Amino acid sequence: MSDGALSQAEIDALLSGGGGESIGGGAGMSSGGGGDTTVIENFLKTTVASQSNGISMMTGGTVNFSGPSVSETSRDAFLTGLPDIVTSVKIDFTTGFPGEHLFIMTEETAKNIASLMNKEDNITLDEMAMSVIAETVSQMAGTEITALSGKTGNKSIASSSPEAVNIPKAAVPLPSGSFIIAVYDVNIGDGASQKIWEVLGPSVAQSMTAALSAPPAPAGGAADAASRGAPMGGSMNSGGAPMGGGGFIQPVQFPNLNYQANQREQGNIGLLMDVFMEMTVELGRTKKLIKEILMMGEGTIIELDKLAGEPVDILVNHKLIAKGEVVVIDENFGVRVTEIVSPQERLSEVG
């Protein structure tokens, strides 16, 4: 709060022993934020090694994550511990555990990450640097989603494209009410420890806690047989008939391998959804001799290989994917897609 006074809610929390109103507080049970901070903290601690390796590979440097400490807090309490200007990256969960999710770091931390990635010193947080920060956070969220999918068996978890901005702390899009924060200590190769805050909205924290706390499904074998009421002991012949001790054991039911492969492909392609690719619209082409090019000047007309009104080519990473027609939108050129190139034509382009 601006006058330094505590709100009635904060006074009540202190009197009841609630230590969750701290920006770097420890773990404990919480209800207002929607999740058990102990469960979430224990899970996130299993991801720090993968986070360190993933970001180190991206940057080509040594980046070490430690922690995190997880606690419940509110907007006012959280903002008091932040500098006036911060870098915020919003990357909400869209499916699986849908809800608010973002990462926050200081300007210094953001500059250090961008400098390490771009191999530049004294970097400014321009559009290019913010794109680098967004990609870094996308890598962090992807590592977390992979671990969550493995722990919970939920293969539908996905996140939105990251939105990185450098803004005053009061403008950070924090969840309303109580929410969960995870505070990571990060060493970005200079020996100095810096912090990155991960914010989980109430719905995300609640659904994540429920999924991580659920007992694992029976893996088969003795437990599976017991759940079916099948007596153990004895053996059977190849047809499943009882032998010896009179136990009935059903034949093994193997899963459909093709279906699992498709599910895995869908999960993996989700990691590529926020990758930027270069899109080009090609009006036409022509070939000229070097002497003709050297003779060009202002006012020279270059005749192209396309007729007036003929569709233009739309290329992604220099590969033809579609055709369209040129339009004008508010004094800007645009292209309306009129035809998508068939897979066979795309393959011929690649060849």
Q: What is the mean pLDDT of residues 154-173?
A: 89
Position 222 in a domain: no
CATH code of the domain containing 90: 3.40.1550.10
| Range 178-182 average pLDDT | 92
Share of residues in the chain with pLDDT > 90 (%):
13
Query: Ramachandran region of residue 242, left (φ > 0), alpha (ψ -120 to 50) or beta?
Result: beta
Instruction: Inform me whether the pLDDT recorded for 102 exceeds 90.
Output: yes
Average pLDDT, the chain: 76
Copy the structure tokens of residue 42: 């224990």
Coil, helix or strand at residue 158: strand
Q: What value does the mean pLDDT take over residues 202-206?
A: 90
The answer as to whether 74 is a domain residue is yes
pLDDT higher than 50, residue 86:
yes
Residue 226 has which token pair? 């017991």
> Do residue 193 and residue 288 come from a single domain?
no
How far is the C-alpha of 308 from the C-alpha of 323, rounded, in Å?
15
DSSP bridge pairs for 106: 86
User: Would 298 be classed as within a structural domain?
Assistant: yes
Give the number of other Cβ atoms within 10 Å of residue 246's Cβ. Answer: 9
Q: Please tell me whether residues 201 and 292 are part of one structural domain.
A: no
* 3 in any annotated domain: no
Co-location of 113 and 200 in the same domain: yes
Q: Which domain holds residue 46?
A: 8-213
For 333-342, the pLDDT digits (tens) are 888 888 888 7
Whether residue 27 is found in the same domain as residue 149: yes
Boundary (domain end) residue, out of 166, 196, 213: 213
Q: Hey, is 228 helix, strand or coil?
A: coil
The DSSP secondary structure of 160-199, one letter per residue, reads PPPEEEEEEGGGS-PPSSEEEEEEEEEE-SSS-EEEEEEE
- Same domain? For 131 and 48 the reply is yes
Between 349 and 240, whose confidence is greater? 349
Query: 291 and 206 in one domain?
Result: no
Residues 196 and 287 in one domain: no
Asked if residue 252 belongs to a domain, the reply is no
Question: Residue 305 sits in a domain of what CATH number?
Answer: 2.30.330.10
Domain-embedded: residue 230: no
Same domain, 189 and 311: no
User: Would you say residue 235 lies in a domain?
Assistant: no
Which tops the pLDDT comparison, 186 or 32?
186
What does pTM read for this prediction?
A: 0.55
pLDDT at 184: 92
* Inter-residue contact 283 to 308 (CB < 8 Å): no
Tell whether 71 and 202 lie within a shared domain.
Answer: yes
pLDDT in tens, 277-307: 888 988 888 998 998 888 888 888 888 888 8
Residue 213, CA distances (Å) to 151, 172, 205 in order? 10, 31, 12
Residue 26's pLDDT band (boundaries 50, 70, 90)? Answer: very low
Work out how many domains the chain is built from and give that number: 2
Of 213, 241, 261, which residue constitutes the final position of a domain?
213
Higher pLDDT, 99 or 239: 99
pLDDT for 89: 93
Q: Is residue 249 part of a domain?
A: no
Do both 103 and 186 map to the same domain? Answer: yes
